Amino acid sequence: MTLIETLARWCAEPPAFSPHAQQLAREAITDTLACLVAGRDDFSTRAVAQAWSADARSVAVDALINATAAHAIDFDDNFAPGMSHASAVLVPALLAVALAEKCSGSALIKAYLIGLQAQAFIGDAVGYGHYTAGWHGTSTVGCIGSAAGVAALLGHDTAAIARTLSIAVSLASGVKGQFGTPLKPFHAGMAARNAVDAATLASTGISGRLDIIECPMGFAELYDGMLQVPTLPESSDPHVIESIGVMPKKHPCCGSTHRILDAIADLQQQQQFQLDDIEQIHCQVGIANWRNLAYTQPEDEMQARFSMPYCVAVMLQRGALSVADFTAEAVKHQAKNPLLLRVKMDAWTPEQEAEQRDLPHILTLTLKEGREIIHSRYQAKGTQAEPFSEAERRSKFLDCCGELTDRERLFSRLSALEQETTLHFLREMMA
């Protein structure tokens, strides 16, 4: 069988998902909806809504606008196997369909787990080179994997899911050169819309090649993939959300900054330095992370989210980053902060990364007295090794949903999402 046929067969008849996998899915859905609310008034969300205002609000357009909102402030989760912000695409696409089809909370959770595993499968098939070459996995891998979840939620059989996946390959796009601009959130919106459109078009019977991932001039070859044949979990195997997991964000900015920011938090908690003691800050990061962070002197809030100097300076001053630190006013206020000029960043070399894939991010603080404090992190807060507590997840949700008067009630209902027979109560969270 082709890769698409293998994946489609699994998506049509997945093994039973464990209670733990369903719990993790529920938490990821809740986190994504909080980020969606926080991003509803972002410029990118408003621009997308305005551009499609003349159209009747279709399911695909609902997915487009809400996925843009979910990714707008870069507070949504990361997913290593898909090299993507998996949930920002998957949840809005599924929710738009689930509301139209009057699906239950348990059906949404099942479709999420199918779509997430599909993203992992596609990501593993093309490998990390796809991302480092400059493709935005959120809108390439995310589109294809989310299409599988949408197709499964619609009740498509194996053949229809395979058709959906083939169509989605032709819709996958998005380049990382747009990071730091309002088009990056649009990538998530575009991917969610394309996922819905792919499943909708597949229902007519139209199809493309089912070997389009591995064939000559196919997805892997054209999108800088190192073609591999992934495995899918059987009944006794853990789902990818259990074995690797999605990574919710502690900080509302590009995930490439997070290990350095968490390293600062570690040192601040240990009280190893005072702000006035610092002469220079050096950050050693991965090549892809270095490329993602293109702005040393950000001019607006979107650039600030992709600026290591900005994020580090605020973290050193305040000990935390919040949504309020990424506004036009906040960026203007920080423009003259001398700390920004003291932050330097370098990347590991290609040879070093080839020799060892999992290199740490290293923070070096040089103090005015000449002493150096060095601290490294292999992972950021939110990974399986250092998961959020229930209190931390609730705190982030309430912070993101500050404009909603009944956010406590919403958090409680989402905490028991599998018991909800209808999802209509979530409409107030949508853009």
Same domain, 7 and 129: yes
Instruction: Give pLDDT, residue 362.
Output: 98
pLDDT band at 272 (very low <50, low <70, confident <90, very high): confident
Give the global pTM: 0.91
Q: Among 344, 362, 377, which residue terminates a domain? A: 377
Same domain, 244 and 261: no
Q: Among 377, 395, 411, which residue terminates a domain? A: 377
Q: What domain range includes position 336?
A: 255-377
Our CA angle for 235, 241, 247, nearest 5°, is: 175
Helices marked H in 360-420: 390-400, 407-414
Same domain, 92 and 188: yes
Instruction: Give pLDDT, residue 54.
Output: 81
Distance in angstroms (rounded) separating the CA atoms of residues 171 and 151 = 15
Place of tokens 């394309």: 194
CATH of the domain at 13: 1.10.4100.10
Q: Which of 179-193, 222-236, 297-311 is predicted with the least confidence, judged by mean pLDDT?
A: 222-236
| Residues 198-256 pLDDT 10s | 999 999 999 999 999 999 999 999 998 889 999 999 998 999 999 999 999 999 999 99
Average pLDDT over residues 382-386: 91
Ranges assigned E (strand) in 237-300: 278-285
| Residues 408-427 pLDDT 10s | 999 999 999 999 999 999 99
Instruction: Give pLDDT, residue 358.
Output: 87
Same domain, 133 and 85: yes
Instruction: Give pLDDT, residue 279.
Output: 96
Q: Length of the chain in residues, anyone?
A: 431
| Residues 70-100 pLDDT 10s | 999 999 999 999 999 999 999 999 999 999 9
β-strand pairing of 372-377 with 361-367: antiparallel
Same domain, 327 and 351: yes
Indicate whether 340 pLDDT > 90.
Answer: yes
Given a contact cutoff of 8 angstroms between Cβ atoms, the answer to whether 85 and 31 are in contact is no
Same domain, 308 and 358: yes
Same domain, 7 and 132: yes
Same domain, 368 and 396: no
Q: Among 377, 395, 421, which residue terminates a domain? A: 377
Same domain, 168 and 28: yes
Same domain, 175 and 239: yes
Indicate whether 265 pLDDT > 90.
Answer: yes
Indicate whether 55 pLDDT > 80.
Answer: no
CATH of the domain at 260: 3.30.1330.120
Given a contact cutoff of 8 angstroms between Cβ atoms, the answer to whether 161 and 3 are in contact is no
pLDDT band at 430 (very low <50, low <70, confident <90, very high): very high
Place of tokens 């979910």: 70
Same domain, 362 and 412: no
Number of structural domains in the chain: 2
Same domain, 284 and 175: no
Instruction: Give pLDDT, residue 247.
Output: 95
Instruction: Kindly report the backbone phi and psi dihedral angles of residue 171, in degrees, each rounded to the nearest multiple of 5, phi listed first.
Output: -100, -10
